[in-house]
């Protein structure tokens, strides 16, 4: 449960409703609040956090949801993977 400064419960849609105003005030690109989960998962993965830990962090009950939908490999990771395959195949 989250409370405001007066000790009253914050409504579930509060963050989604007010995040565009915060982005605009700080001159940041408009993004849906939900999209931050994708960015969070991808950044954690790129920094060596295990997929299981990312699953827990995002609160997904199913590992495949995190792995298949939220965590995306960045370009440098794809290059590293391609180099490793090349080394294994001695290309």
Domain boundaries, the chain: 1-33, 34-89
Q: What is the dihedral of CA 76, 80, 81, 82, to 10 degrees?
A: 100
Q: What pLDDT band is residue 5 in, cutting at 50, 70 and 90?
A: confident
Rounded average pLDDT over 55-67: 89
Nearest to 66 by CA among 44, 33, 84: 44
Q: Please determine, for residue 20, whether its predicted confidence score (pLDDT) is greater than 70.
A: yes
pTM equals 0.59
The pLDDT, as a whole number, for residue 72 is 72
Question: Alpha-carbon distance 70 to 68, whole Å?
Answer: 6
Q: Are 20 and 30 in contact (CB under 8 A)?
A: yes
Sign for the pseudo-dihedral over CA of 70, 76, 77, 79 = positive
Phi, psi of 14 (to 5 degrees): -60, -50
């Amino acid at each position: 449960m989250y409370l405001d400064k007066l000790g009253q419960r914050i409504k579930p849609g509060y963050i989604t409703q007010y995040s565009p105003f915060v982005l605009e005030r700080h001159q940041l690109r408009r993004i849906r609040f939900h999209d931050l989960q994708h960015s969070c998962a991808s950044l954690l993965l790129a920094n060596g956090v295990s997929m299981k830990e990312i699953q827990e962090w995002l609160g997904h009950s199913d590992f495949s949801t995190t792995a298949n939908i939220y965590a995306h490999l960045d370009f440098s990771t794809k290059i590293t993977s391609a180099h490793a395959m090349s080394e294994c195949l001695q290309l």
